Structure 1
Amino acid sequence: MDFSIDIRESRGLRTLHFDGRWMQGAMRITRPWDLELEYTQVMMACLLMRDESSFPRNILLIGLGAASLTKFLYRNCPLAHLTVVEIDARVVDAAREHFGLPHDPVRLNMVIGDGVDFMMASDQTFDLILVDGFNEHAHPGDLNSLPFYQACRSRLSNQGMLAANLIGLCRGVKGGFAHIESAFEDRALMFPQCKSGNTIAFAATAGVINVSLDELKKKSLAFEQRTGLALLPALRKLEMMWPASHSL
């Protein structure tokens, strides 16, 4: 990897950058376990879409960044085992030194490697796969491909879900979302674009998600009480696109 990794701090916010330009993650120093960036918060809407008693137990994250998603899931899904695939060992070192990435070999497995290669070679089954990997040009590379999303689906359990960050893709032609729709046979949903330009997509395997927006909003209130994360604003944006009675 021939790009630099920079850590910055301003007004209580610590951020991770590649080549001094693209922000890869952020942490509020006084609230290190919280999700600071809007798109990371939206990605956690996946936790509202399945029954809490059975989902998830085995989670895969592709792309570490500042470890925001990893830390949130580690803390708020205490029964889950997490596998994180990060292509650059320097990012892992930065996350441990500056962003409080936990060291727990029992619950948290760190893999240094390419996310596409990992998916193509893996024989593991996951309940949740989160894709948030980019190079120094803020491009997902081969993570944005039909074969990759097909591999993701093949590695998900019957109640499994995918959450993907589609920043940098051309939304005018649906970008990587078209690949997700194809791989998951249209069992997919794209949330409204975040202010940062990130667009989050969700997809389900054979276990179709049958929950209305009204139900999601009710579940979000209990989720906020438990985790401190308010997902109601994101759901209200979604409601402008979908009728409240619509099931996903």
Structure 2
Amino acid sequence: MRVFPIMIWKTFAGRCIYQCQTGTRVYENMIFRWLKFESKAIQTLINKHYPASPALHYIKPLLFMAKQFPDHCCLMGLGGAGAAHALSPFLTSSKITAVEISQEIVDVASRFFMLSTIPNLEVIHQDAFHFIENTPRTFRHIIVDLFNASHFPPHCNNDTFFALCKSRLSKDGILAVNLANRQEQRPIFEMMQRQFGYNMVSIPVEGCANLVILASNSEDNQFLKHYFTTHKQVKRMAWDATWGHLAAIKQRW
């Protein structure tokens, strides 16, 4: 789940097609369909005709490494399945395991966001912390997109959660985390750094407050730095005293 500024042209002439007492709402126009929770912020935005084409800018950096190294993924937070739709074409021989705490969101995603068209998607209705604490499985990619209308879930906002995420990564696995609340970004970065050291890259998302943080489980503690320095889709790479390795990637998908 995620919070983003409204993209005015993509949501122009939108009408509400679903609303419930919890504040969850679904809107659409001729091209796009989007999901909101209690706030005005857009949680998911998909192109109804091309759902695999990311419509929100944070999706591309969040899924960047999963696209480069396709393998089994754990997606924490289903929302309107924007990330799952974007991942699916690159994981034709791998499974996407999406963990979602809200049955209502699972139902809304099934009804309005075309879950049935994602052949390699497995949805588990469970709390993310409980799942990562108890699953025996490991994943090449763990993608954390957990957000309510304004915050990262408090019970996942701790060192234990990120230590568990690292323990469930396979060799050379990647943890990718989307953070939308500016006040939470630095504390969570530091939690991740305590687990992964400097084998991390932070990607500020253009045009909004979101920050995507990638962390590698590789024995090579410079793996992400070296990979981003040489990849043609990376526009720039720099060292920052506060955030370590900072990168910007091209939005071409």
Q: TM-score, normalised by structure 2?
A: 0.78
Of 103, 106, 112, which residue of structure 1 is paired with 2:125?
112
* 1-structure distance, mates of 2:228, 2:98: 30
**2:130 pairs with 1:98:** no
User: In the alignment, what sits opposite 1:196?
Assistant: 208
Deviation sequence 1:146-186 (CA, Å, 0-9, x none)? 11010000000111000000111426x72311111111133
Of 164, 177, 180, which residue of structure 1 is paired with 2:189?
177
**2:155 pairs with 1:142:** yes
Structure 1 stretches lacking a partner, 5+ long: 221-234
**2:96 pairs with 1:77:** no
* 2-structure distance, mates of 1:13, 1:212: 34
* 2-structure distance, mates of 1:37, 1:94: 19
| More helix per residue | 1
Does the CA-based 8 Å contact 1:8-1:14 persist in structure 2? yes
**Structure 1 residue 56 displacement after superposition:** 3.5
Identity of aligned residues (%): 25
Deviation sequence 1:50-99 (CA, Å, 0-9, x none)? xx5xx342210000111011112122210111111001111111112211
Does the CA-based 8 Å contact 1:71-1:102 persist in structure 2? no
User: In the alignment, what sits opposite 1:239?
Assistant: 237
Deviation sequence 1:25-49 (CA, Å, 0-9, x none)? 101223221111001111122136x
Does the CA-based 8 Å contact 1:18-1:136 persist in structure 2? yes
The Cα RMSD (Å) is 2.6
Where has structure 1 moved over 4 Å in runs of 4 or more? none
Does the CA-based 8 Å contact 1:160-1:207 persist in structure 2? no
Of 214, 227, 230, which residue of structure 2 is paired with 1:215?
230
* 1-structure distance, mates of 2:151, 2:32: 21
* 2-structure distance, mates of 1:148, 1:187: 18
Distance 1:135 1:2, change over 3 A: farther
**2:60 pairs with 1:41:** yes
User: In the alignment, what sits opposite 1:88?
Assistant: 102
* 2-structure distance, mates of 1:241, 1:14: 38
Structure 2 stretches lacking a partner, 5+ long: 1-19, 248-253
* 1-structure distance, mates of 2:50, 2:156: 31
Q: TM-score, normalised by structure 1?
A: 0.79
* 2-structure distance, mates of 1:212, 1:75: 23
| More strand per residue | 2
Distance 1:153 1:139, change over 3 A: closer
* 2-structure distance, mates of 1:111, 1:212: 32
Deviation sequence 1:197-245 (CA, Å, 0-9, x none)? 110000011343253445211xx4xxxxxxxxxxxxxx32x43558xxx
Does the CA-based 8 Å contact 2:143-2:175 persist in structure 1? yes
* 1-structure distance, mates of 2:149, 2:238: 34
User: In the alignment, what sits opposite 1:225?
Assistant: none
Does the CA-based 8 Å contact 2:44-2:82 persist in structure 1? yes
Aligned residue pairs, count: 221
Does the CA-based 8 Å contact 1:87-1:112 persist in structure 2? yes
